[in-house]
């Protein structure tokens, strides 16, 4: 008996400390991320509600089933003198626990079906945004406006995420969730969003919009959104797309329709100015400065900051026969790609390409030391 | 012909000795042992890779490995755990137990049995050798989606041939099990008297024969796309990359049940033993298992809701997925009803089985949540799915296999294992596995994608807790190794029946059983069957 | 490994086992080839 009592005291103490500890744990995790976002669209709100309904249903089922299990674990044990009954089936019970789950499932399927039908209505959109996934950045085409935005991981995160960078990610604001060029979308507008990819499969996901969709090379997926509240919404690529899959975030800035119109005008003006750059002669220093920037944004993740590449995966530019060879061959590879090297024809303009090639030919141990003018690139297109 | 090996051995009255005993073994027990040891080694290799993953994810920023190597770790961890640890462990248990359970002297085709085991070390040598090649080990995910997987360097053909060999090995194992159960049952051992473990394994074997060739076909198409100029999955050549995903998951979903059904079978043996009460609803268990297996061929696209299917397709796969909850529920309720009004004791195998019951059900709930298509658009490819399938695979399947090992270990070795150590193993594993996988639900819901080597600082706290849980879980498994070694070397003598409430033909044999299980077939009646 | 030591019953069983193996093997092969042909 006394052993039994001791056992009970110990068990009681364990149970009490368990509740104390879990109380402390619950207080601590109050600040930690726990649940799905409600988001800022009708879709995301509906998805959130559906998520909560199903979570509650399975929680209730779980409590019932686990209680029955626990009850028999505690009461039908040999040490308590329980004698085993010998029943081994009950048609009534078996029919009941087949039919009841079916009813619950049908009840869950109804709102799920409604939400799904709602989400698939991509018609009557007021504008169209085409999203193209690249290894490892996003290209956004505002199809109605003819505006294109390239969006990649921002410089601060990119520096901090390098191995042995010595930078504490905690000091970088929105670490890995910030980009160089955020996209801007108007609120209260039904926007059709097409997703596709240029190389491998990516997935475009902004949790606040309530869905993600794969971006598949050669195919275009159709989706829509209608953002209710202005704000900055962040997301990430959600389909493994190679080495830097974790480093191609998405930032959507939702603004009023007027602000959006102004932003579009700004983008158009900037595109015109950039196109102009190809028509003039550039100085070497100007090309080198620009080239360094372009290299850091587009080339460094494969060819590395020291130009030595990654053995077996990405060739070295330092001492490369192509980089030190005739300009025409190099321009051709940058424009049209080769093996894993993507074609930069559409990604970069003439001035950017000329600048980055000039930078590479004058960096590290390379001996070419010449300059390539935007006009040379333009001619080769 | 194939029977000759068994026959031949009977005339020499001794076991072969030395390395030859293992290399040329045609004995179901020796081959079963080799499968189990191989699975355990692979479990630790795959576990070491998981440790690298958790080490890198312990804090934001990249500290220990490059992203490419990190991707190799997640990819090869999955391949090793699924094809190297869980599947061989299931086949190992089948090899050991099925001939004893149906009253046969050995497996139907002992030499093919030898071959299906010895393919495995070669296949994994191929796979793991890719770490030393140009371009490194596979890093495109175990799902091998093109076009990404085609970017792999010299390792690609090695990956593909490893998968081919693994498929071949599994199919041969499956054929052997089918032939054994169909042709070598003892007189009176009718199909509806078979132990549940045998039933789940026949159904698994049929799934293997139907699903593995599909995977082999899919990876063959990858091979020809890369080296022979075909364009099955290349949009530029008129192919479709999504088609690979359909092919892969047409294999992949049945594969889930290939992994889990043997575990269901094991706990269906164990729970009645320790509840001292017959299994509730034997017939409905068999039908539920068969329905799950049948339905598993019609739900594959729920792994790929986000690829953009037509509405009708999304609805079909959602409803079919929800339908699987019904037979799965029946199984859980039957196990619960088996415990109800039993006379339970809680030896280690029972503890692990109850662990399966609770935590597999939890994984089942999240599975149901993800079957709801519109919500899956949020859950897909986040840590929520990582939490879900690890709950199903680790406390659902690995715990089931471990339960089986504890349950039959005294039968195999003739010694009782150390019960105190077994209980420590269970409690440490259970606590750590929940610290390891439960917070992943929160991370996924909060928006952390899977397969990323680095993350935003808001996810730091959970990741640190997960990594600590992971380390504790990994270390806890060393107890299992110690228990098994200790049990092989000695211990309290096990009786023939081993457990007070145990029934079934395997418990009529001595512990340890003779080299050839039943040389004269036992007679099975309704009273001796149905444990 | 002399087959002539086998009794009639053992021979019958061996033949039955081979039959199962061949059928299952052919089914697997058909699935493999069939799937590739289907997508060609």
CA dihedral B392, B396, B402, B405 (to 10 degrees): -120
Residues of B with Cβ-Cβ distance to C22 under 8 angstroms:
none
CA A229 – CA A44 distance, rounded (Å): 12
pLDDT at B8 over 70: no
pLDDT at A352: 85
**B249 in Cβ contact with B153 (< 8 Å):** no
Neighbours of A264 (CB within 10 A): 17
Q: Residues B469, B390: contact at Cβ < 8 Å?
A: no
Res. B294: pLDDT tops 80: yes
State the pLDDT confidence band at C5, using cuts at 50, 70 and 90. Answer: low
How close B462 gets to chain A, by Cα (Å)? 8
Could you read off the pLDDT of A158-183 as tens digits, one per residue? Answer: 989 988 888 899 999 999 999 999 99
What pLDDT does residue B456 have?
94
Grade residue B161 by pLDDT with cuts at 50, 70 and 90: very high
Which among B368, B373, B374 is positioned nearest to B388, based on CA atoms?
Answer: B368
Question: Where do the DSSP E strands lie in A86-182?
Answer: 127-134, 137-142, 147-151
Are A181 and A150 in contact by the 8 Å Cβ rule? The answer is yes
From chain B, pick out residues whose CB is under 8 angstroms from the CB of A177: 456
Q: Report percent pLDDT > 70 for chain B.
A: 96
Identify from B233, B372, B439, B443 which residue to disrupt to test chain A contact, counting A C-beta atoms within 10 A and taking the largest count: B372
Q: pLDDT digits over B185-243, tens only?
A: 999 899 999 999 999 999 999 999 999 999 999 999 999 999 998 999 998 888 999 99
Which pLDDT belongs to residue B12? Answer: 43
Phi and psi based region of residue B491 (left: phi greater than 0; alpha: psi -120 to 50; beta: remaining):
left
Average pLDDT, chain A: 88
Sheet with A202-206: strands ordered across: A183-186, A249-255, A231-237, A202-206, A211-215
- Our answer on whether B and C touch (3+ beta-carbon pairs < 8 Å) is yes
**pLDDT at residue number B15:** 67
pLDDT of residue B5: 41
Hey, is A188 helix, strand or coil?
A: coil
In angstroms, the CA A228 to CA B59 distance is 35
pLDDT at A234: 96
Whole-angstrom Cα distance, residue B97 to residue B118?
Answer: 20
Nearest to B369 among A54, A79, A242 (CB): A54
Instruction: Give B363→chain C minimum CA distance, Å.
Output: 31
Look up residue B307 and give its two tokens: 């690829």
Q: Scanning every residue of chain C, which has its alpha carbon at the shortest distance from the alpha carbon of B213?
A: C32
Considering only alpha carbons, which residue of chain C is nearest residue B225? Answer: C40
Query: What's the burial of A13, exposed, middle or buried (CB within 10 Å: 0-12/13-18/19+)?
Result: exposed
Minimum-distance CB partner of A85 among B147, B277, B346 = B277
**Whether pLDDT at B257 is above 70:** yes
The arithmetic mean of pLDDT across residues A118-125, rounded, is 90
Assess B233–C contact: CB distance below 8 Å, yes or no. no
Phi–psi pair at A197, nearest 5 degrees: -145, 160
Q: Please tell me if residue B209 touches chain A, with a CB cutoff of 8 Å.
A: no
Of residues A299 and A97, more confidence is placed in A97
- Percentage of chain A beyond pLDDT 90 is 51
Q: Is the ipTM of this complex over 0.85?
A: yes
Of A51, A82, A214, nearest to B307 by CB-CB distance is: A214
CA atoms B459, B460, B463, B465: torsion sign: negative
Beta bridge partners of B338: none
CA–CA min distance B216, chain C (Å): 7
Q: What CA–CA distance (Å, rounded) separates B446 from B463? A: 13
Checking if the pLDDT of A99 tops 80, the result is yes
Of B246, B276, B423, B450, the active-site residue reads B450
Residue in B with minimal Cα distance to C36: B217
Cβ atoms of B505 and B524 closer than 8 Å? yes
Whether A312 and B136 lie within 8 Å, measured CB to CB: yes
Q: Which residues of B touch A207 (CB under 8 A)?
A: 378, 447
Average pLDDT value for residue range B274-292? 93
Q: Residue A295 pLDDT > 70, yes or no?
A: yes
Position A311 scores a pLDDT of: 75
Tell how far CA A251 is from the center of its chain. Answer: 9
Q: Active-site residue B526, yes or no?
A: no
pLDDT exceeds cutoff 60 at A278: yes
Phi, psi dihedral angles at A255 (to 5 degrees): -135, 175
- A–B contact (≥3 CB pairs within 8 Å)? yes
Query: Which chain C residues have a beta carbon less than 8 Å from that of B218?
Result: 35
Q: Is a pLDDT exceeding 60 seen at residue A223?
A: yes
Please report the pLDDT score of residue B3 as a whole number: 40
**pLDDT 10s digits, A13-41:** 676 666 666 666 666 666 788 899 999 99
> What value does the mean pLDDT take over residues B280-286?
93
How many C-beta atoms surround the C-beta of residue B505 within 10 A? 24
B219: chain C residues, CB-CB within 8 Å: none
The mean pLDDT of chain B is 92
- Picking from A101-105, A215-219, A303-307, C14-18, which range would have the lowest pLDDT averaged per residue? A303-307
Interatomic CA distance for residues B110 and B117, integer angstroms: 11
Do the Cβ atoms of A38 and A48 come closer than 8 Å? Answer: yes
Specify the length of chain B in residues. 531
CA A73/CA A93 separation, integer angstroms: 20
Task: Say whether pLDDT at C19 is over 70.
Answer: yes
Cα B216 to chain centroid distance, Å, stands at 19
CA B247 – CA B214 distance, rounded (Å): 7
**What is the average per-residue pLDDT within A135-152?**
92
pLDDT at residue B13 greater than cutoff 60: no
What gap in Å lies between CA A61 and CA A56, rounded to an integer?
9
Whole-number pLDDT of residue B4: 39
Share of chain B above pLDDT 90, in %: 88
Q: Which is more confident, B400 or A87? A: B400
Predicted pLDDT of residue B528: 67
What integer pLDDT is reported at residue A4 of this predicted model? 66
Please indicate whether residue B170 is annotated as part of the active site. yes
The pLDDT value given to residue B9: 44
Smallest Cα–Cα separation from A312: which of A332, A343, A339?
Answer: A339
Kindly report the pTM of this predicted structure: 0.90
């Amino acid at each position: 008996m006394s052993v039994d009592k001791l056992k009970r005291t110990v068990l009681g103490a364990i149970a009490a400390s368990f509740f104390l500890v879990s109380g402390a744990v619950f207080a601590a995790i109050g600040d930690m991320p726990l649940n799905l976002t409600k988001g800022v669209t009708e879709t995301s709100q509906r998805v959130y509600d559906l998520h909560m309904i199903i979570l509650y249903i399975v929680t209730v089922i779980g409590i019932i089933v686990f209680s029955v299990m626990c009850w028999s674990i505690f009461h039908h044990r040999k040490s308590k003198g329980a004698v085993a009954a010998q029943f081994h089936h009950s048609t009534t019970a078996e029919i009941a626990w087949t039919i009841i789950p079916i009813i619950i499932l049908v009840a869950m399927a109804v709102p799920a079906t409604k939400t799904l039908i709602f989400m698939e209505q991509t018609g009557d959109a007021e504008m169209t945004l085409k999203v193209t996934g690249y290894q490892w950045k996003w290209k956004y085409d505002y199809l109605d406006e003819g505006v294109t935005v390239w969006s990649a991981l921002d410089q601060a995160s990119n520096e901090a995420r390098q191995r042995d960078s010595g930078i504490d990610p905690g000091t970088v604001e929105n670490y890995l969730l910030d980009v160089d060029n955020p996209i801007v979308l108007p609120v209260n507008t039904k926007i059709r969003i097409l997703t596709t990819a240029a190389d491998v499969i990516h997935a475009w996901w902004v949790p606040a919009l309530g869905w993600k969709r794969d971006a598949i090379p050669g195919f275009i997926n159709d989706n829509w959104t209608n953002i209710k509240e202005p704000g900055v919404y962040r997301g990430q690529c959600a389909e493994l797309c190679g080495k830097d899959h974790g480093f191609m975030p998405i930032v959507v800035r939702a603004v009023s329709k007027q602000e959006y119109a102004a932003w579009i005008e700004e983008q158009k003006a900037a595109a015109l100015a950039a196109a102009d750059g190809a028509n003039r002669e550039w100085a070497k220093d100007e090309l080198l400065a620009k080239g360094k920037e372009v290299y850091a944004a587009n080339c460094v993740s494969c060819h590395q900051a020291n130009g030595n590449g990654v053995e077996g995966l990405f060739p070295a530019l330092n001492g490369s026969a192509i980089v030190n060879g005739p300009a025409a061959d190099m321009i051709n590879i940058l424009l049209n790609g080769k093996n894993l090297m993507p074609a930069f024809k559409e990604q970069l303009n003439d001035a950017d390409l000329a600048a980055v090639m000039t930078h590479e030919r004058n960096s590290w141990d390379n001996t070419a030391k010449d300059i390539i003018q935007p006009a040379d690139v333009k001619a080769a297109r | 012909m194939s029977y000759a090996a068994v026959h031949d051995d009977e005339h020499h009255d001794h076991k072969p000795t030395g390395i030859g005993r293992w290399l040329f073994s045609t004995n179901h027990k020796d081959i079963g042992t080799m499968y189990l040891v191989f699975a355990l080694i692979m479990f630790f290799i795959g576990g070491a890779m998981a440790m690298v993953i958790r080490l890198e994810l312990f804090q934001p920023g990249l500290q220990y490995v490059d992203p490419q190597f990190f991707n190799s770790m997640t990819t090869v961890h999955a391949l090793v755990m699924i094809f190297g640890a869980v599947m061989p462990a299931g086949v190992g248990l089948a090899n050991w137990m099925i001939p004893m359970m149906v009253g046969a002297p050995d497996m139907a085709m002992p030499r093919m049995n030898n071959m299906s085991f010895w393919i495995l070390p070669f296949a994994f040598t191929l796979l793991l050798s890719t770490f030393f090649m140009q371009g490194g080990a596979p890093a495109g995910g175990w799902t091998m989606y093109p076009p990404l997987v085609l970017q792999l360097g010299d390792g690609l053909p090695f990956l593909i041939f490893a998968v081919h060999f693994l498929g071949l090995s599994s199919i041969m194992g499956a054929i052997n099990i089918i032939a054994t159960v169909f042709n070598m049952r003892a007189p009176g051992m009718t199909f509806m008297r078979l132990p549940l473990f045998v039933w789940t394994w026949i159904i698994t074997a049929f799934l293997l024969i139907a699903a593995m060739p599909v995977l082999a076909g899919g990876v063959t198409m990858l091979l020809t796309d890369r080296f022979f100029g075909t364009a099955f999955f290349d949009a530029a050549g008129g192919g479709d990359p999504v088609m690979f995903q359909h092919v892969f998951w047409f294999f992949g979903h049945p594969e889930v049940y290939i992994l889990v059904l043997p575990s269901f079978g094991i706990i269906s043996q164990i729970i009645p033993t320790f509840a001292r009460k017959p299994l509730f609803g034997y017939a409905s268990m068999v039908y539920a298992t068969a329905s799950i297996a049948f339905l598993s061929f019609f739900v594959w696209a729920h792994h790929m809701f986000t690829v953009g299917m037509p509405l009708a397709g999304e609805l079909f796969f959602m409803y079919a997925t929800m339908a699987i909850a019904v037979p799965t529920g029946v199984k859980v309720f039957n196990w619960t009803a088996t415990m109800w009004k039993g006379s339970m004791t809680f030896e280690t195998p029972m503890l692990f089985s109850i662990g399966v019951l609770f935590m597999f059900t939890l994984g089942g709930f999240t599975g149901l949540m993800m079957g709801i298509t519109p919500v899956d658009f949020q859950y897909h490819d986040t840590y929520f799915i990582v939490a879900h399938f690890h709950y199903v695979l680790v406390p659902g399947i690995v715990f089931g296999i471990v339960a089986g090992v504890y349950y039959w270990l005294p039968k195999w070795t003739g010694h009782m294992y150390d019960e105190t150590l077994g209980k420590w193993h269970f409690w440490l594993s259970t606590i750590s596995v929940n610290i390891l996988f439960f917070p992943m639900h929160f991370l996924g819901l909060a928006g952390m994608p899977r397969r990323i080597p680095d993350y935003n600082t808001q996810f730091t706290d959970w990741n640190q807790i997960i990594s600590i849980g992971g380390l504790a879980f990994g270390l806890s498994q060393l107890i299992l190794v110690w228990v098994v070694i200790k049990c092989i070397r000695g211990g309290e003598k096990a009786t023939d029946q081993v457990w007070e409430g145990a029934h079934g033909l395997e418990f009529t044999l001595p512990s340890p059983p003779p080299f050839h299980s039943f040389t004269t077939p036992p007679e099975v009646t309704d009273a001796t069957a149905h444990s | 490994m002399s087959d002539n030591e086998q009794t009639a019953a053992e021979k019958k069983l061996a033949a039955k086992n081979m039959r199962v193996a061949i059928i299952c093997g052919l089914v697997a092969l058909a699935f493999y080839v069939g799937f590739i042909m289907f997508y060609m």
